[in-house]
Amino acid sequence: ILSRTIFNTKTPLQLSRMWYSSSVPTTKLFIDGKFVDSQTTEWIDIHNPATNEVVSRVPKATQEEMQAAADSCSRAFHPWAETSILSRQQVFLRYQQLIKDNIKELARLITLEQGKTLADAEGDVFRGLQVVEHACSITSLMLGETLPSITKDMDTYTFRLPIGVCAGIAPFNFPAMIPLWMFPIGMVCGNTYLMKPSERVPGCTMLLAKLIQDAGAPDGTLNIIHGQHAAVNFICDNPAIKAISFVGSNQAGEYIYNRGSANGKRVQSNMGAKNHGVVMPDANKENTLNQLVGAAFGAAGQRCMALSTAILVGEARDWLPELVERSKALRVNAGDQPGADVGPLISPEAKVRVNSLIQSGVDEGATLLLDGRAVNVPGYENGNFVGPTIISNVTPEMTCYKEEIFGPVLVVLEAADLDEAIALINNNPYGNGTAIFTNNGATARKYTHEVDVGQIGVNVPIPVPLPMFSFTGSRGSFRGDTNFYGKQGIQFYTQIKTVTSQWKAEDAGVSSPAVTMPTLR
Ligand code: NAD
Q: For position 512, what pLDDT does the model report? A: 83
Amino acid of residue 462: I
> Is residue 215 helix, strand or coil?
coil
Spatial contact of 288 and 279, defined as CB atoms under 8 Å apart: yes
Helical pair 177-188 and 118-135, crossing angle rounded to 10 deg:
10
Whose CA is closest to atom 15 on ligand 1? 252
How far apart are the CA of 227 and the centre of ligand 1, in A?
13
Give the pLDDT confidence of 171-227 residue by residue, as tens digits: 999 999 999 999 999 999 999 999 999 999 999 999 999 999 999 999 999 999 999
Nearest to 398 by CA among 412, 386, 385: 412
Ordered strands of the 146-151 beta sheet: 146-151, 154-162, 494-502
Which pTM was predicted? Answer: 0.94
- 8 A C-beta contact, residue 407 and residue 354: yes
Whether 304 sits among the annotated catalytic residues: the reply is yes
d(CA 147, CA 82): 25
C-alpha 217/C-alpha 422 separation (Å) is 47
At 9, the pLDDT band (50, 70, 90 cuts) reads very low
DSSP character string of 235-298: HHH-TTEEEEEEES-HHHHHHHHHHHHHTT-EEEEE-----EEEE-TTS-HHHHHHHHHHHHHG
Res 22: pLDDT: 54
CA of 88 to the centre of ligand 1 (A): 30
Task: Calculate how far, in angstroms, residue 270's C-alpha sits from the geometric centre of ligand 1.
Answer: 9
**Contact between residue 40 and residue 61 where contact means Cβ atoms under 8 Å apart:** yes
* % of the chain surpassing 90 pLDDT: 92
Q: Which of 73, 166, 304, 400 is catalytic?
A: 304
Query: What are the residues whose beta carbons fall under 8 Å from the beta carbon of 123, sequence distance 6 or more?
Result: none
Question: For residue 93, is pLDDT > 70?
Answer: yes
Please, which residues have CB within 8 angstroms of residue 63's CB and are 6 or more apart in sequence? 230, 234
Residue 16 has pLDDT above 70, yes or no: no
Give this complex's ipTM. 0.99
